[in-house]
Amino acid sequence: MTRLSRTVRLTVHPPGHTGAAPQPHRAERTVSLRSGHILSDGLGAHYACTVSVDGPPDPVSGYVISISEIDSAVRRELPQLLAEALWPASATAARSAGDPAALVRALAHRMCETLGRPIAALALHVNPFDSYSWEARMPDTVLLTAQVECAAAHRLNAPQLNAEENIALFGKCNNPNGHGHNYRVEATVAVSLGDPGRMGISTLGRILCEHVERRIDHRHLNLDVPEFAGTIPSVEHIASACRSWLDGPVRAAGGRLVRVTVWETEKTSASVEA
């Protein structure tokens, strides 16, 4: 089985906006839109949607599904759903609008209908750091994902090894005065769609700030964070520590911690399942 994932980016304009009206000389821009570029003549709300489909590659085309089918389906269904949520037409609509978790499930169901086949997962990226996602294996659950950024220093040094062995193992990361990283810490939390008081991304963001950012931002992990007093603060151990810090607060807020990922650099990260 192969999973094909396609991300579609789009801009939703408020009612009455005329800046993005189709013009004849823009016909060639269809290719750019299908390539995932945002094209807009005015201000609007920018979103990205990732749709994943599982299946065997077609023996003729090699495709699990044509990406143009996904592009067309997302652009047909998502703008209207977003517009209704962002700019409700009545007070009654306003009371039921603005629930991204419910919107993601509704969009997933519409994708299945429009594509004429099941989808495996769908994620709505509401900004570069946060997203809501739905998976077919957990149809009554939505996953919230949020990030915080922290600048911190650490030193990789194993006390049971001598100086030469530590340098051989850790290289520059064994610098006696430590070195720094701009860490990104991402938490994914499962919430039940049946819970009307379920936590949202803003709550998850506050938990990340309070229980991760305040602990490690602008700190020397070896010296300032008690959890690393006897533990090498590798990215793997940092991810495990973040999981332990977040699990209780997330449960208290009504969610279930699923995964924590810590990026040490753009090329190096560690994830731990909860």
- In the chain, how long is the greatest CA-to-CA distance? 72
- Per DSSP, the three-state class of 116 is coil
Identified catalytic residue from 150, 186, 211, 264: 264
Catalytic residue among 113, 149, 179, 218: 218
Q: What is the dihedral of CA 5, 246, 266, 70, to 10 degrees?
A: 10
Judge whether 165 counts as a catalytic residue.
Answer: no
Helices (H), 87-121: 91-96, 100-115
Residue type present at position 12 = V
Q: At what angle do helices 235-252 and 201-208 cross, to 10 degrees?
A: 130
| Other CB atoms within 10 A of residue 127 CB | 12
- Rounded Cα–Cα distance for residues 86 and 71 (Å): 22
First to last CA, the chain: 26
Active-site residue (options: 46, 69, 109, 173): 173
Strands of 66-218, DSSP E: 121-125, 131-135, 138-154, 179-192
CA dihedral 246, 252, 258, 260 (to 10 degrees): -10
Catalytic annotation present for 13: no
| Residue 135 annotated to the active site | no
Would you name the residues annotated as active-site residues? 173, 218, 264
